[in-house]
Amino acid sequence: MNNYLVLSDKVKQALNAKEPVVALESTIISHGMPYPDNLYTAKEVEAIVLQSGAVPATIAIIDGKITVGLTDQQLEFMATESTITKASRRDIPVILTKKRHASTTVAATMKIFVTGGIGGVHRNAEKTFDISADLQELARTNVAVVSAGAKAILDLKLTMEYLETLGVPVLGYQTDEFPAFYSRTSGVPVNDRVETAEEIAAIINTKWKLGLNGGIVIGNPIPEEYSMPPQEMQLAIDAALQEAERLFITGKAVTPFLLDKIQQLTGGKSLKANVALIKNNAQLGAKVAVALNRL
């Protein structure tokens, strides 16, 4: 593994000192937001993690190396380079062998991990079988993922049912409902409600000490002031889905296309919401990492 893995000095020092480290995906940089919002957000998210007492470790594949803890120059590269692909678990061997560049998703960045929204079961998956690899990776890897729920373009009810089938618990941070990414509510109940980062850390610690392997999803609702009305978002999502179908956009290209289209349809409000929720998740993720490190 050492042939493929590069740790930054800060991440190495933190791990050797047994300090809390928070993993951050890079797909939101290369495929989730336009430049320069993506770069500003990535740096602000890392700053939030640092201020909360943990060490940020943004992860990407650069020149065929899994790079854990990006430099400012590497963040800029991920934010501007056009040849970066979106890597899931299946893609990693090819990308490493061919020495390509790639951003990491939840399924490729598997202890405490912060993302915007997890992947899930796509709408009409009963016909397309389009289900994100994030979910199966969550079932097999010991990772606690802090997110604003699943991306709103997905079928949230089926996503929750699939996670239940895989034995992945879903906790709601100060909420009884699975957050709907841009909106605080979805009408879909979580398995259990939690009130503090310390409570989340205790549950994580208990789960893995019992030998119950697999991940945990912590649904962290977008801050109230940035939450978008579910009905407004549904109209934008439906329109974006129809456009994707008309243009025959499929596979990994679907999510970036839909997020960009929704941004256009909402006059940029969805981008502001996306930035706000990832910062909010970073803050909670760092608190959980610090609390878990104490245990």
To the query of whether residue 224 is one of the catalytic residues in this protein, the response is no
Residues paired with residue 68 on neighbouring β-strands, in sequence order: 7, 59
Q: Residue with structure tokens 């610690």?
A: 205
To the query of whether residue 209 is one of the catalytic residues in this protein, the response is no
Distance of CA 11 to the CA centre of its chain: 20
Q: Which of 86, 111, 151, 261 is catalytic?
A: 151
144: closest CA among 164, 119, 171?
171
Residue 118 near residue 132 (C-beta atoms within 8 A): yes
What's the N-to-C CA distance of the chain in angstroms? 28
> For the CA atoms of 49, 50, 52, 54, what is the dihedral angle to 10 degrees?
80
Q: Which of 25, 46, 137, 177 is catalytic?
A: 25
Q: Which residues are catalytic?
A: 25, 151
